[in-house]
A and B are shown apart, each in its own frame.
Chain A
């Protein structure tokens, strides 16, 4: 089945810094989502982005499907951005979403 990798596994930032999180996948996809899991375990939808670029406030995401990766950009980070960021992909012809292992982000005040 499709393999999903995320990097870096851990990231520590000072408040106000920018960051880029990466999601690589091993096969063609027709669905891709980015989620933020807050410290209480709640999974929040950030983007549905099988291709192209989207922006929502301080967050933006780009998926280059032909090269099999997606990037999540966080600008001017805040302590509330802390948590784990997951990408989930559905392979072309596949049945279900497969989750990556996540990037744990800690934003320090």
Chain B
């Protein structure tokens, strides 16, 4: 089955540690995205990648980093510079940039 896999589902970290969230897709989509969702809120764009080896900052990129070395994979690193990292993180992909989005099941990150 084609889809977007995010792992792990739940992640706990101590403050000051970097943590990397995994996102893999086997849909052969060119574009991939990372969104952040806080309780009771909508989704905000962190980073996006239109093609392999290319990515751009979204609306709230500070304290995050990404890489896109393979078409299938778009990992997100939450660095210690991110002031409020506890949130629900959603990865999405689309056939090409700006076409309809398809989402993974999300990773819930808790930093204490």
Interface residues of A (CB under 8 A from B): 31, 33, 35, 40-43, 45, 48, 86, 88, 90, 95-97, 99-102
Listed stretches B64-72, B75-83, B95-103; interface member: B95-103
Q: Does B74 contact A (CB under 8 A)?
A: no
How many residue pairs bridge A and B at CB < 8 Å? 46
Interface residues of B (CB under 8 A from A): 33, 35, 37, 41-45, 48, 58, 88, 90, 98-103, 105-106, 108
**Do B105 and A42 touch (CB < 8 A)?**
yes
Q: Chain B binding site: helix, strand, loop or mixed by DSSP?
A: strand
Cross-interface CB contact of A101 among B42, B48, B106, cutoff 8 Å: B42
Cross-interface CB contact of B101 among A41, A42, A97, cutoff 8 Å: A97
9 A–B contact pairs at CB < 8 A?
A31-B100, A33-B100, A40-B105, A41-B90, A41-B108, A42-B106, A48-B100, A86-B42, A95-B98
Given contacts A41-B105, A41-B108, A101-B41, contact A96 B48 (CB under 8 A): yes
CB nearest to A50 among chain B residues: B100
CA distance A95 to B58 in the complex (A): 10
**Do A96 and B45 touch (CB < 8 A)?**
yes
CA distance A72 to B103 in the complex (A): 20
